């Protein structure tokens, strides 16, 4: 059993240098907000290494073009180079903001490593590079029948720090979840914030995220687990923050 930490942390997780460093600015401000420290975690995805061992393996550039073939050794070296660059960036961040920062490199997948990283009071932040797109609101994802006050409180802080508005997408899988046609419907019997969207299925929710281009997403661990963090990041293409209670 691990010893509890004296201070809470903002734990910034990503699979490459570009993702992690794109979210450091908001992670630093969030650490100051909660009076905690910053920990950056580079996740070395073993499935990427395994893919690189295949004869057909190719790397895809940001331009969308394929590069030359890649090898598992080349991918491991790329992870190590990213680790060195992230650690250097954290050292600079620590000096610039007088913030306690530390770096960790783990092998695995982000969704399966959560429990060993966090403690109550932490903020878990999954990073994703936004590629300079025009970003929208701070988006809160909640269960329609079980609001989470910690998520809403964190959303208010994120929206204030990033100068964005808050929008709500509520997940309701209690009724007919037959398809996307339910997304956007509002139960007449409930008082919901103006502009709230209700998704009737997981697929409907992902379709909403794909079209709204949020600046960031807030959700609890239960919803993250239901949807899968890798799938969420691929769809929303923005940082995802989770308060740990």
Q: What is the pLDDT of residue 190?
A: 53
What's the rounded Cα separation, in Å, for the pair 12 and 101?
Answer: 11
Cβ-in-10-Å burial (0-12, 13-18, 19+) of 237 comes to middle
Sheet holding 101-107, edge to edge: 101-107, 37-44, 9-14, 123-126, 240-243, 216-218, 138-143, 166-171, 197-199
Which pLDDT belongs to residue 116? Answer: 79
Assess whether pLDDT exceeds 50 at residue 234: yes
Give yes or no for residue 133 having a pLDDT over 80. no
Is there a contact between 62 and 81 (Cβ–Cβ < 8 Å)? Answer: no
3-class state of residue 160 by DSSP:
helix
In this prediction the pTM is 0.83
Is the model's pLDDT at 182 over the cut of 90?
no
Tokens of 99: 């913030």
Whether the CB-CB separation of 128 and 238 falls below 8 Å is answered with yes
- pLDDT for 213-232, tens place per residue? 899 999 998 899 889 998 99
Side-chain-side CA neighbours of 97 within 13 Å: the count stands at 23
> Taking CA 118 as the corner, what is the angle to CA 32 and CA 86, rounded to the nearest 5 degrees?
65
Q: Is the pLDDT of residue 166 over 90?
A: yes
Confidence of residue 113 (pLDDT cuts 50, 70, 90): confident
Mean pLDDT: which of 4-8, 26-30, 42-46, 177-181 is highest? 26-30
How far is 204 from 12, CA to CA, in rounded Å?
28
pLDDT at site 74: 76
Q: What angle do CA 105, 110, 111 make, to 5 degrees?
A: 150
Q: Residue 179 CA to chain centroid, in angstroms? A: 25
**Is residue 184 very low, low, confident or very high in pLDDT (cuts 50, 70, 90)?**
very low
In this structure, what token pair is assigned to residue 86?
């992230």
Q: Does residue 11 contact residue 104 with C-beta atoms inside 8 Å?
A: no
Q: Assign 3-state DSSP to the chain and report helix, strand, coil percentages, each to 5.
A: 40, 20, 35
Could you tell me if 17 and 82 are in contact, meaning their C-beta atoms sit under 8 angstroms apart? Answer: yes
């Amino acid at each position: 059993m691990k010893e509890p930490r004296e201070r809470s942390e903002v734990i910034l997780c990503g699979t490459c240098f570009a993702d992690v460093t794109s979210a450091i600015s908001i992670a630093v401000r969030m650490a100051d907000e909660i009076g905690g420290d910053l920990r950056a975690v580079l996740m070395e995805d073993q499935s990427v290494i395994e893919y690189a061992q295949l004869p057909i393996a190719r790397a895809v550039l940001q331009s969308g073009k394929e590069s030359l073939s890649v090898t598992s050794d080349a991918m491991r070296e790329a992870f190590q180079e990213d680790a060195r660059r992230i650690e250097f960036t954290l050292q600079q961040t620590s000096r610039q903001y007088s913030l306690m920062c530390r770096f960790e490199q783990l092998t695995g997948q982000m969704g399966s490593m959560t429990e060993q990283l966090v403690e109550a009071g932490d903020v878990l932040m999954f990073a994703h590079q936004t590629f300079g797109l025009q970003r929208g609101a701070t988006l809160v994802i909640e269960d329609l029948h079980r609001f989470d006050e910690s998520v809403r409180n964190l959303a208010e802080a994120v929206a204030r720090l990033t100068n964005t508005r808050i929008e709500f997408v509520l997940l309701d899988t209690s009724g007919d979840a037959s398809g996307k046609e339910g997304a956007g419907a509002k139960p007449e019997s409930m008082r919901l914030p103006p502009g709230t969207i209700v998704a009737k299925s997981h697929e409907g929710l992902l379709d909403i995220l794909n079209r709204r281009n949020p600046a960031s997403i807030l959700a609890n661990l239960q919803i993250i687990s239901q949807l899968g963090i890798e799938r969420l990041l691929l769809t929303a293409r923005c940082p995802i923050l989770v308060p740990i209670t």
